[in-house]
Each structure stands twice: as C-alpha cells, then as structure tokens.
Amino acid sequence: MAVIVQDADAAPRSVTILGSTGSVGCSTIDLLERNPDGYIVEALTARRNVDLLVEQAKRLRPRYVAVSEDNQYSALKAGLSGSGIEVAAGMEAVVAAARRPADFVMAAIVGAAGLAPTLAAVNRGVVVGLANKECLVCAGSLMVAEIQRSGAVLLPVDSEHNAIFQVFDFDRREAVDKLVLTASGGPFRTFDREAMQSVTPAQAVAHPNWDMGAKISVDSATMMNKGLEVIEAHHLFDVPEDRIDILVHPQSVIHSMVAYVDGSVLAQLGTPDMRTPIAYALAWPARMQAPQDRLDLAAMAKLTFEAPDPIRFPALRLAREALKSGGSAPTVLNAANEIAVEGFLSKRIGFLEIAAIVEETLMAFSHCGLDSLDGVRSCDEAARRMAAETLETRANGS
C-alpha cells in the first residue's frame, strides 16, 4: 500500500464520483455539500438514473457528467441544456470521466462494471476511494500491479476494510497476526435453511443496519459480501486467506479488527453509517467533520459476537475456496454471483439457488488468464454466460 503525504490545508480538492446516484455516491455528495469550501467536483457518472444525476449536477456544477447507458444520452443532454456542463454517454464516457484531472476519485460503481473506470483512475496515480470490492475480487493482481506502477493510493471505503486500514501497522507488517472482518449476519442470520427457501427479494434487501443498494443487500443476506471481502482484504493488506477471520457482530458497531502477535487487538468503532468511512477517505490524511450520530456505548450497553455458519451460508466457503484456488476462480465467483443475484431479484430463482448456481459455475468453468483488462473481461463474460445457462435451467425446472 503506497502512502503519500498531502497538505491537509490545501483546498479545494477536486473530486470525481463514479456512481454518484448509488448509496455511496449519494452519501459522498452529502459530505461534499456540507464542506463546500473544501471540494470542487470534476465529474459525476451514473448508470441510468438520469433524473437524480441531473439534479446532482445542477447543485454541484461539475465540469463533466456521463451516463453509461447510451439510450439515456438525450434525456441527460436535455436535462443539462444551457448549463455549460459537458455531457456524454456509454461505458467509454464513464472511463473518460475517471481519466479527468481530479485529485480524488470515488469508485462507487457496483459490480464488475466498475473495473475499467476504476483501473483508469488508478492509471493516473491519484488517490482512489474504493467502494467497489469487485475490482479486487475480479482483478486483484492486475489492480495491485497497476497501483505499484502508477503510485496511486487506494483508500478502502467498505466499512470493514476502512476500519482495518485505520488500525493496520503498515510499517511493521510482521507484527500482524490476523485480520478479523466483522459481519452483521444480514436479515436471515437466525433463519434455518428451510426458512431461507421461501424468503423474498423484499426481505433480502431489508438490511437490519445498513442502507445499501439491492445487489449489495442480497450479498449481505447470503453472506457472499463477506466472502468477497476476504478476497479484497487479501489483496489490500497482503495477508493470506488463513489469517483472515470472519466474526458475526449483529450490532455493526465494531467494523473490523487487527490482531497482533503480542495479543493486542485493535478495532475501529462507530455507528453503522457509510459517511464515516467515506469522510475518512475524502479527507485523508486529515479528518473532516461529519454529521452522523455519535457512538454511545453506554446506551447500547451490549455487543454480541458469534461464529458464522458455513452450512447455512455456503457462500463463505465458496469465496475462500476461490481465493485458495487462485487464477480466475475469484473472477468466476463474482460473475456467477452477479448473474444469480439478478435472477433472484427478478424472482426467477429462489434465495438458496444463488450459492448453488455460483458453485456449479465454479466447478464447470475452465479457468483462463487474467494478465490484462481484456483477459479479465473475457473471463468474466464467459463465466456470466455459463452462470446464465445454469440459471435458465433452474428457472425452467429442467
């Protein structure tokens, strides 16, 4: 992990937000608007939510706005007509946004779609706030190599990895014994597998602690998100899989921990609000005032912990197996999971079939090389086709 020293008093800092209409993007904008003297916005991007993107652009006055779906260009252009803001559409336009001269890029595009623009930002050697775990899951070695080449700084924005970043001793790595990723357990933490068979998408996206998008909420419900976070932590902190633990902590107050060889365990705590890790990344290496509720441990009174159940939540096992297998296995894992989650959200398959489709795809896929972005894309696309065929078979009951 590269570390640079910036003048915390230098302002304003220019910011690009990739995925500004999603949960992380909206929280980032909330913080920027509360600190108007500290930041200017270079670019905003979204997938298809043009109405919100136009509203954000009118308030923040970025130089450039892009939407990834080509058929939304006319609406975007009309919405910002006369504003003087440059508008564009298509995935290449989103990548172009990442290449614009911002000091800080918030990479908040969900899924493998965020890989190319995030890599483009890394290529520039700037500070990147990474809220997209799939980038390191799909192309961890490629991403790390590019960070080392460009001198970019990758600041994790996931609450768990941000917590570890804050208490990890980068100067004395040999003193680190293990990482402990905490998990809320999701909405089905106490459900048995029979009960999980009939859960609905509406139940799955109703996370007990965090306000997240549909895909990430389903990943939390299956605990695939925690499996992906193990892979991400491996690449971020260069810690092997067998020294990364998961601990279910339903209150989501302790966001993760680092255990040291002398028996010390350092943790970062806070209320479950994504504006905390986002604020840390935006202001790094300083800190900024943020509006979320302050943690009141006396009022909370009780924090509980339990081991995760790999039988009820097989996604944890699948993610660990993919990391240990290496190569393209994590890429396949992520691609198959995205397809399966889409199938569940569209009510074509049941909740338990998400992990089943991922496992079948992993077992059947002939793995491929990941030495370039094109190689990652090719592998991802092939895995998606295979997972989609498996989903189709299950959805049709054949």
Domain annotation for the chain: domains and CATH numbers: 13-157 (3.40.50.720), 171-271+295-308 (no CATH), 326-398 (1.10.1740.10)
Name the DSSP class of 12: P
Q: Note the pLDDT of residue 211.
A: 63
Alpha helices in the chain (DSSP H): 23-34, 50-60, 73-79, 91-99, 115-123, 134-150, 159-167, 193-196, 201-204, 214-222, 224-237, 275-283, 297-300, 315-325, 329-345, 353-364, 373-395
Q: Which of 113, 283, 97, 308 is nearest to 222 (CA)?
A: 308
Around 42, how many Cα atoms within 13 Å sit in the side-chain half-sphere?
20
Query: What was the pLDDT predicted at 1?
Result: 40
Radius of gyration of the chain (CA): 20
State the residue for tokens 């520039």: 124
- 250 within 8 A of 189, measured Cβ to Cβ: yes
Length of the chain: 398
pLDDT given at position 356: 96
Q: How does 123-160 read in b/e, with b if 16+ C-beta sit within 10 Å? A: ebbbbbbbbbbbbbbbbbebbbebbeebebbbbbbbbb
pLDDT confidence of residue 202 = 92
In the beta sheet, which residues pair with residue 130? 107, 156
Beta strands 265-269 and 254-260 are antiparallel
Position 17 scores a pLDDT of: 98
Residue 304 has phi, psi (to 5 degrees) of: -125, 160
* Distance between CA atoms of residues 244 and 177, nearest Å: 9
What are the angstrom distances between the C-alpha of 167 and each of 132, 180, 311?
A: 21, 12, 31
Do 128 and 154 touch, CB atoms closer than 8 A?
yes
How is residue 267 written in tokens?
A: 């943790």
Digitized pLDDT (tens) for each residue of the chain, 398 residues in all? 433 334 445 669 999 999 999 999 999 999 999 999 999 999 999 998 999 999 999 999 999 999 999 999 999 999 999 999 999 999 999 999 999 999 999 999 988 889 999 999 999 999 999 998 888 998 898 999 999 999 999 999 999 999 999 999 999 999 999 999 999 998 999 999 999 999 999 999 886 666 667 888 899 999 999 999 999 999 999 999 999 999 999 999 999 999 999 999 999 999 999 999 999 999 999 999 999 989 999 998 899 999 999 999 999 999 999 999 999 999 999 999 999 999 999 999 999 999 999 999 999 998 787 788 888 999 999 999 999 999 999 988 75
Which residue, among 159, 163, 151, has the nearest Cα to 133 in the 3D structure?
Answer: 159
Q: What is the pLDDT of residue 206?
A: 83
Decide: 184 and 208 in contact? Cβ < 8 Å: yes
**What is the phi/psi pair of residue 83, to 5°?**
-85, -20
Question: How many Cα neighbours within 13 Å face the side chain of 345?
Answer: 17
pLDDT of residue 10: 63
**CB neighbours (10 Å) of residue 292?**
15
Structure-token pair, residue 59? 């308030």
Cβ atoms of 379 and 151 within 8 Å: the answer is no
DSSP code for 48: S
